[in-house]
Amino acid sequence: MQDYKHLDKTDKQLRSWYNDKVREGKIGNMDFDTFQNWYVTNATSCHYCGLTASESQQIVRNRKLTSKRFPQNGKHGRGTSRGMWLEVDRYNPNGKYEIGNIVPSCYFCNNDKSDVFQGDDYKKFMNDRIGFLKQLLTVLIACFALSCSSIDPNKLSEDEARKLIIAEFQKESPNMVEVIDFKEADGVKQEMFGQKNT
């Protein structure tokens, strides 16, 4: 491992990031001084995974992981400095960059979260990716079932309703995977089957 000395993000870099977001119309009610103070105070570890700013920089600078977006030949510049410092993520990706909607994020989490997840959902996804995605499918199918006029959960056992729901859903989505864990969607399942004994 090469000699490592942590490099803090400069005021110039922070101002450049801030001005870019202002030009893009993505800054909420937050002036530069407020943003700078927030960054200096909060950007010590990733909100999602806990990776520290120092750990992230060591991984990138010592080339433990590589990317075209990371510094090249020890030089960082526009387009090649990702991973060097913690980034500013919008907790709600559809909101503005403003206090209350920004969190420090390592490159890896920020890139992975993208604009797909809200902050809390991303944490759940990180803990169990497959389970999280299957639960989304389960809830989708259960909601679909609630909208089907041909399914009356009061007249069917849970198993019969499950088979009918999957059959109906596959008419609409023929490529749907059949292995769905209905027990994962407890809230929707309770709404469908209530206290009915099966």
pLDDT at 137 over 70: yes
- Give the pLDDT band (50/70/90) at residue 73: low
Separation CA 134–CA 141 (nearest Å): 11
Residue found by looking up tokens 């990371």 in the block: 70
Q: How confident is the model at residue 179 (pLDDT cuts 50, 70, 90)?
A: very low
Query: Quick one: what percent of the chain has pLDDT higher than 90?
Result: 30
For the chain, list the domains and their CATH numbers: 11-119 (3.30.40.220), 128-193 (no CATH)
**Per-residue confidence (pLDDT) for residue 161, from 0 to 100:** 66
Taking 90 as the threshold, does the pLDDT of residue 168 lie above it? no
Report the candidate in 56, 93, 90, 61 with the shortest Cα–Cα distance to residue 75.
Answer: 61
Instruction: Please say if the pLDDT value at position 1 is more than 60.
Output: no
| pLDDT at res. 79 | 55
Kindly indicate the confidence band of residue 116, based on its pLDDT and cuts at 50, 70 and 90.
Answer: confident
